[in-house]
Structure 1
Amino acid sequence: MMLFASNSMLLSTIIMLTYASLGVSRPTSNFVDPDFPITEDPEEMRAEALKRLLEVFGMEDPPHTKGLHKQPPQYMLDLYNTVADVDGVTKDPDLLEGNTVRSFFNKIHSEQIQFLFNLSTVAKTEKVLTAELHLFKLRQKATTPALHRHHFCQVNVYQVMDNRKASHKLLSSRLVPIHTTGWEVFSITHAVRAWTADENSNHGLLVTVRTLGGTNLDPNLIRFASGRDHHESKQPMLVLFTDDGRRAASLENSLKDQNKEGDALNIPPSLKVNNSRTARSLENTEDEHLPCQRYPLYVDFEEIGWSGWIISPRGYNAHHCKGSCPFPLGQNMRPTNHATVQSIIHALKLTKGIETPCCVPDKLFSVNLLYFDDDENVVLKQYDDMVAGSCGCH
């Protein structure tokens, strides 16, 4: 099902998708979400529905981009293609450390090899797992007889504590081949954790290059690309691997739900609601006789006006589950033990008011978004429980 902004199908589908992802059922006359306005105004309903969809993606407002973006760093594009398929669906949940990767560009230009990165877009609740400084080592402009005697240089990365040189704190130090070119990566996790805890402590980084004997090398001999003088694909970059806590909360809720209901299958609660009844109330009932199965539900980011800040994917197929769960439930309907018992009770009419089990997702996959934030940094974020991988009766 396509999300079309130009007609009422968009509103119905977004409302279905957002309520399912937020883990609540569609409001009835007796249980209405007080924060969701009941209105017949299509524009007001659309705005509220899109607001709820943003909440699913962990945002209050869409990023305010200027329209003319920098080219996304090749590192971020390669990382996205490593963890996600062409539709943005996660290939392997263990490939990414945490659920968020942020890239930042240098904000200052100095005669020294000095960098400053603005981390204001990192939420206080995000846990910094790993932070890396990426520098592109250029070919030498010139060489000297003395330099030919050396094959390695020592590159040191310091955290600038204040303007006093003696207060600089060594973060990383290692040997780098002198006569090669390419990316060099340095771990600076401790400094970034300090900066995110206290943004006033962020005075930047200082990089020095010395011979193995400790002598400073001429910057013209050993050079790293800067954002000012070199192609943007080679500019210095800070890369943060973080976790915003949403994955841990999802797993915790899943375990609580599993213990509470005693189901044989682990079904995350975000879609473990009466979604089949929601679908039935919004669609024709002529397909109810069909068995429970998965159908397409395509979310088109361009149609809902998000293509200006989302780099990849252009949209994704969330899929949805629809169909009946008649007695007796066959194994092809992937029923839980609870659903089997409920089906028997309903068929024998042993208890009044017991309905048939519902056709809902029993396997959920995560989706990755690569997008620009408010400061036009590039962010890779993984969202759990976004795609119905298969359907079953529960």
Structure 2
Amino acid sequence: MRRGAGALLLLLLVSSGPGNTASLPGQSQQIRSKALKRLLEVFGMEDAPPSPHKVRQPPQYMLDLYNTVADADGVTKEPDLLVGNTVRSFLDRGETRNQQFMFFFNLSSVAKSETILTAELHLFKLRGRPSQDPGQHKHHLCQVSVYQILDNSTSTVKGKRLLSTRVLPVHDSTWEVFTITNAVYDWIRDKDSNKGLLVSVQGLAGEQLNNYIHFATGRDHHSSKKPMVVLFTDDERRGTATSSSSIETPFLSEVTLHDKASQSRNTRSLNLQGCQRYPLYVDFEEIGWSGWIISPRGYNAYHCKGACIFPLGQNMRPTNHATVQSIINALKLTNGVATPCCIPDKLFSINLLYFDDDENVVLKQYDDMVAGSCGCH
């Protein structure tokens, strides 16, 4: 999508609102539907937005991560804070444990085309419980091992694969993180291979401590402490979405058919002001997306407008090419040479925190969504 057409699309959506399909003369419901579909594609959702979900609290980790990488409007604070452009969280869906720490996470919403960067198992470790065995109280450290379950014979070496192991203080109560990337590689390639994870707790001498050391499950404890897999991926979407002339053309046609006198007045007005950046607020509630987006509620995309006529001052941030073009236009040295265009010359990314169709919480970063400054080009 060209930058000008992208700003036009957002203006079309924001000005119309969900219940106002005639805010631009000649605008039809079909055009609005195409606009919303195109905006979904920009946000990497090819078919339809996730369904609205009942209000529930997102994992605190995901809220903290969002606040770390984005400001209040969702604009990225630093481009390198996030590994990849997508972070997904999956809560434990296991039902039975058989006195073992067994967890299951449904990762079917991850596309095979996404590049898996790293995957983490987040467990909230509880303080060691009192035991009738006096020998248990002498333990100050324990070894926690995470296994990928390969088949139902978890008691055998062939039935599981060691993913991560760490030595932890027995009496601490805190979140612990284990790397499980190799298991997730397998699960994404073949979803039927996902049989869950097994966590084993032993003393440093090898004795079992499963009845002494426990992890919060979300059923027996507050849901905020539920076991969680956090997956960092990259879908290799960089820059604005691929152009689609069949969809862009109607938008341009709508503006072309707009009231000619109004356009003439606007042109005269713009000629009085140089190229500048103006607000363009995208309200997700107005678009009808507030049911699944957690943060932000909207963001200021900004847009550029104004004249780029000779002479171009440095405040218009002209390129050398734009300066030469403005001179050729002013002197009429060549027919058909227009004045340079007022467009964004710096673009920032934004971040969305939202629920997907499986009620997983996703943090996704989208490039080139905010005009940081404008210039004549």
TM-score (norm 1): 0.82
Equivalent-residue separation in structure 2 for 1:129 and 1:80 (angstroms) = 18
Equivalent-residue separation in structure 2 for 1:215 and 1:205 (angstroms) = 20
Is the counterpart of residue 173 in structure 1 residue 173 in structure 2? Answer: no
Equivalent-residue separation in structure 2 for 1:297 and 1:175 (angstroms) = 52
Code of the residue aligned with 2:145 in structure 1: it is N
Per the alignment, residue 96 of structure 1 pairs with 82
List per-residue Cα deviations over 1:363-388 (Å, max 9, x = no partner).
00001000000101000000000000
Count residues in correspondence: 342
2:369 partner SS: strand
Instruction: Kindly state the Cα deviation for residue 9 of structure 1 after the two structures are TM-superposed.
Output: 7.4
List per-residue Cα deviations over 1:13-71 (Å, max 9, x = no partner).
xxxxxxxxxxxxxxxxxxxxxxxxxxx56322211111111011010234443531431
Is 1:11–1:45's contact at 8 Å kept on the other side of the alignment? no
Code of the residue aligned with 2:62 in structure 1: it is M
- Within the candidate set 160, 183, 197, 1:191 is matched to 183
Instruction: Kindly state the Cα deviation for residue 326 of structure 1 after the two structures are TM-superposed.
Output: 1.1
Equivalent-residue separation in structure 1 for 2:122 and 2:103 (angstroms) = 11
Per the alignment, residue 134 of structure 1 pairs with 122
Per the alignment, residue 227 of structure 2 pairs with 236
Equivalent-residue separation in structure 1 for 2:376 and 2:78 (angstroms) = 26
> Which sits farther off after the overlay, 3-12 or 231-240?
3-12
Is 2:69–2:77's contact at 8 Å kept on the other side of the alignment? yes
Is the counterpart of residue 225 in structure 1 residue 216 in structure 2? Answer: yes
Per the alignment, residue 360 of structure 2 pairs with 377
Per the alignment, residue 20 of structure 2 pairs with 7
* Cα distance change, pair 3–89 in 1 and its aligned pair in 2 (3 A): farther
Instruction: Kindly state the Cα deviation for residue 139 of structure 1 after the two structures are TM-superposed.
Output: 2.6
Is the counterpart of residue 285 in structure 1 residue 267 in structure 2? Answer: yes
Per the alignment, residue 152 of structure 1 pairs with 141
Q: Which runs of 4+ in 1 moved over 6 A?
A: 9-12, 277-280
> Which sits farther off after the overlay, 138-147 or 350-359?
138-147
Equivalent-residue separation in structure 1 for 2:36 and 2:319 (angstroms) = 34
Instruction: Kindly state the Cα deviation for residue 234 of structure 1 after the two structures are TM-superposed.
Output: 0.2
Is 2:127–2:170's contact at 8 Å kept on the other side of the alignment? no
TM-score (norm 2): 0.85
Identity, % of aligned positions: 65
Equivalent-residue separation in structure 1 for 2:125 and 2:22 (angstroms) = 53
Per the alignment, residue 3 of structure 2 pairs with none
For structure 1, the 5+ residue unaligned runs are: 13-39, 254-272
Code of the residue aligned with 2:162 in structure 1: it is L
For structure 2, the 5+ residue unaligned runs are: 1-10, 243-247
Is 1:3–1:299's contact at 8 Å kept on the other side of the alignment? no
Is the counterpart of residue 207 in structure 1 residue 207 in structure 2? Answer: no
1:288 partner SS: helix
Equivalent-residue separation in structure 1 for 2:70 and 2:282 (angstroms) = 17
Code of the residue aligned with 1:67 in structure 2: it is H
Is the counterpart of residue 121 in structure 1 residue 109 in structure 2? Answer: yes
Instruction: Kindly state the Cα deviation for residue 347 of structure 1 after the two structures are TM-superposed.
Output: 1.4
Per the alignment, residue 75 of structure 1 pairs with 61
List per-residue Cα deviations over 1:155-197 (Å, max 9, x = no partner).
0000111112322100000101100101000001111012111
RMSD after superposition: 2.4
Is the counterpart of residue 294 in structure 1 residue 277 in structure 2? Answer: yes
Code of the residue aligned with 2:295 in structure 1: it is S
List per-residue Cα deviations over 1:250-281 (Å, max 9, x = no partner).
39x9xxxxxxxxxxxxxxxxxxx9xxx99996
- Within the candidate set 306, 309, 312, 2:289 is matched to 306
Is the counterpart of residue 216 in structure 1 residue 208 in structure 2? Answer: yes
Is 1:63–1:372's contact at 8 Å kept on the other side of the alignment? no
Per the alignment, residue 299 of structure 2 pairs with 316
Is 2:40–2:49's contact at 8 Å kept on the other side of the alignment? no
